[in-house]
Amino acid sequence: MKTTTTLVAGLALASISSGQVLQDSVQTLPVVQEETSSSGLAEALAAGSHWVKMRLRYESVDQDSFSDQADALTLRTLLGYKSGDWDGFSMLLEAEDVSPIGDDDFNSTVNGKGSFPVVADPDGTEVNQAFLQYGGFEDTQVRAGRQRIVLGDARFVGNVGWRQNEQTFDAYSVNSSRIDGLDVFYAHVTNVNRINGESHAAGNQAMASNLLQISHDLDGFGRLEAFLFDLDYTDTVGASTSTVGATLAGNHETESFELLYRAAFAQQSDAHDNPTDIDAGYMNLELGVQLDAVTIKVGQELLEGSGNPGDSFQTPLATGHKFNGWADKFLGTPDAGLEDTYVSLSGTWKGTNLLAVMHQFQSDEGSMDYGDELNLLASRKLDCGPTAGIKYADYSEDGFGDDATKIWLWLAYSF
């Protein structure tokens, strides 16, 4: 076991009593808060804050097409520092280490153990974030460097925070609420640092892409987000696309319950040097009811596909694990498209957060059955501080892929 593993494991044991919890929930682009007044460089550095965040996780995968079951115990550690303000400037540095503990009986995508199912948590140490920010403009922050970008619910652009190695972006970005009633985000991305890490051939994907999202709160009705994602890949030109769309999500309260609703539409076409003709649409309609501590939702998500190779709606920068089942059978959309009909039930019982989701999958073109999947999750904050969780995914094929069962156990904390 490498020295880094020993060090971070010691830090993990020492941090249990800290009373802090690692938070990995999906959120909009984080903003480094400005100080009320600028100071000298030395004072700004001294006024900075730091953090250590850890997540110890066991994942097992039992997949029909493999004779061996994958068993992965890994520890992720984030070490970060954020400076204070200096004439409107600030900086953030964050390093990430992923280390296996014990035998790595799984295919990490870089360890050469292809006889095992994939658990995409390769070991390695790398810079997770490193950016300079300027906040001297009114209600506007400008960043340059490696950064976390999560837009909306991460359906199209996200950090893939579930995996141990986070996805981040080398980019120039602007996040502004200067125009009354509008939140505007723009980024020019030059490279995507994928979850496979530096050792993988696809661990870095060079590009010259532009991401634009404009959001507006509609009083009493919801939040409207309009977006344009122009992806221009340098090497994998077949992934270059232009996607335009909008999402509306909101809620309506009554005396006895709260009505939840969401509608999203998008259209995708080939762009730049992509040799494939792409003309595919996207739709997500969801309706829910919240009764006290229990929420029920029903929805359908459609990613169109014509059946022709490459002509299907793709979301290569998304937090894919969050959508279309936790077994990750549909991280890429099949050529015939994907229709995901789902029902979810969530709530809290004696301090434990519970979630159950049932998916039924079929193709867009031809309405062929793919399979179905059950997802279950329970998590809670322990009295001693950390958050513990258990998660389960069971995919049963009915024409697409193979049967797979996945189980996760984790402990997350920070100080």
Give the DSSP per-residue string, 132-193: EEE--STTEEEEEEEE----TTSSSS---TTSSS--EEEEEEEEE--STT-EEEEEEEEEEE
Question: By percentage, how much of the chain surpasses pLDDT 90?
Answer: 87
Residues with Cβ within 8 Å of 232's Cβ and at least 6 positions away in sequence, in order, are 207, 208, 209, 210, 240, 271, 272
Number of alpha helices (DSSP H) and beta strands (DSSP E) in the chain: 2, 18
Asked if residue 338 lies in contact with residue 316, where contact means CB atoms within 8 angstroms, the answer is no
Q: What's the whole-number mean pLDDT along residues 136-140? A: 94
Joined tokens for residue 157 = 């652009």
Q: Is 0.95 topped by the overall pTM?
A: no
Question: Is it the case that residue 293 has pLDDT exceeding 70?
Answer: yes
Task: Look at residues 335, 279, 278, 338 and name the one whose alpha carbon lies nearest to residue 307.
Answer: 335
Mean pLDDT of 293-318: 97
186/229 Cα distance (integer angstroms) = 10
Of the pLDDT bands very low, low, confident and very high (cuts 50, 70, 90), residue 37 is very low
Instruction: State the average pLDDT over residues 110-137.
Output: 96
* CATH code at position 158: 2.40.160.10
**HSE-CB of 186 using CA atoms within 13 angstroms:** 7
Residue 256 makes CB contacts below 8 A (sequence gap 6+) with 291
Quote the pLDDT of residue 26. 35
pLDDT in tens, 39-94: 588 998 999 999 999 999 999 999 999 999 999 999 999 999 999 999 999 999 99
Alpha-carbon distance of 192 to 342, in angstroms, equals 31
Q: Is the pLDDT confidence value at 130 over 90?
A: yes
Instruction: Name the β-bridge partners of 20.
Output: 414
Matching residue, tokens 């100071």: 39
Q: State the amino acid at position 27 in one-letter form.
A: Q
pLDDT given at position 40: 86
Judged by average pLDDT, the poorest of 16-20, 165-169, 267-271, 325-329 is 16-20
At 9 the pLDDT is 39
Helix (H, G, I), strand (E, B) or coil at 230: strand
- Pull the structure tokens for residue 237: 């030109």
Domain that includes residue 204, residue range:
3-414
Q: What is the pLDDT of residue 22?
A: 34
Which helix (DSSP H) or strand (DSSP E) does residue 395 occupy?
Answer: strand 387-397
Which tokens go with 68? 């061996």
pLDDT at position 255: 87
Task: Tally Cβ neighbours within 10 Å of residue 207.
Answer: 24
Structure tokens at 215: 């959001």
Strand partners, 127: 95
Average pLDDT over residues 310-322: 97
Are 211 and 199 in contact, with CB atoms under 8 Å apart?
no
Number of domains the chain is built from: 1
Mean pLDDT confidence for 130-158: 97
What value does the mean pLDDT of the chain take? 91
**pLDDT confidence of residue 220:** 84
